[in-house]
Amino acid sequence: MEPVKTRIPVTVYAEETPNPASMKFVASHYLLMEGFAEYTAVEDTEGSSPLAQELFSFPYVKTVFISSNFVSLTKTNDVEWFEVIPELRQFLKDYLADSKDVIIKMPTPKTQPQNIMAETSANDTEVVAKILGILDEYIRPAVEQDGGAITFRSFTNGVVNVALQGSCSGCPSSTVTLKNGIENLLTRMVPEVKEVVAIGE
């Protein structure tokens, strides 16, 4: 006789993001993973994330972004959120309650990660350290709150290049956020910064 599996009580609720095509599903008191992982196609999930792989079986799911205690999903235009939220919430609740694997292996980055300091001139090293500190302390928590992630890519000639992922990727208001929020903060706190630009992965 097989032992009865104990299900973990999990509460999942949906939270709107600034991107109307994305919805953030938060698992209360449940750590999904450390860091974050983004999947833009089901092929990317192979051997990496069983959860993301199953989410792509819903025909309206376009991208899956997993971080700490939430999953951000971007949908196709042929459905409205109110039509699919109950189904997705129930699926995530059951999946996590059964203690199934979320991530087996981190996905392979589409671009090779840069060695930030190796590509930074000696004069800019201190500036980059300041930029990274501000991103970590002030900007990353706010971006995560909106169901996304921000990653530093490079600093050259006064320009900070960052990558926006999750709900922030392709969001109509992300340019405004980038210029009015992130750029304003960095140029005010780090005089060497003149501009912030979002680059593709």
Would the pLDDT of 120 be above 80? Answer: no
Average model confidence (pLDDT) for the chain? 83
* 111 vs 124: CA distance, rounded Å: 23
Q: Which domains, ranges and CATH numbers included, belong to the chain?
A: 11-97 (3.30.1370.70), 122-198 (3.30.300.130)
pLDDT digits (tens, 9 = 90+) for 5-52: 566 788 999 999 888 899 999 998 778 888 888 899 999 999 999 999
pLDDT of residue 170: 65
Would the pLDDT of 141 be above 60? Answer: yes
Q: Which helix (H) or strand (E) holds 145?
A: helix 140-145
Would the pLDDT of 113 be above 90? Answer: no
pLDDT of residue 114: 45
pLDDT of residue 181: 80
Structure pTM? 0.73
The token pair that represents 109 in the structure block: 């980055």
The token pair that represents 25 in the structure block: 């599903």
Where does residue 170 fall: left (phi above 0), alpha (psi -120 to 50 degrees), or beta otherwise? Answer: left
* 135 vs 131: CA distance, rounded Å: 6
pLDDT of residue 70: 92
* 185 vs 193: CA distance, rounded Å: 10
The two beta strands, 11-16 and 61-67, are unpaired
The CA-atom distances, in angstroms, between 45 and each of 40, 49, 66, 108, 149 are: 9, 5, 12, 10, 19
pLDDT digits (tens, 9 = 90+) for 182-200: 888 899 999 999 998 887 6
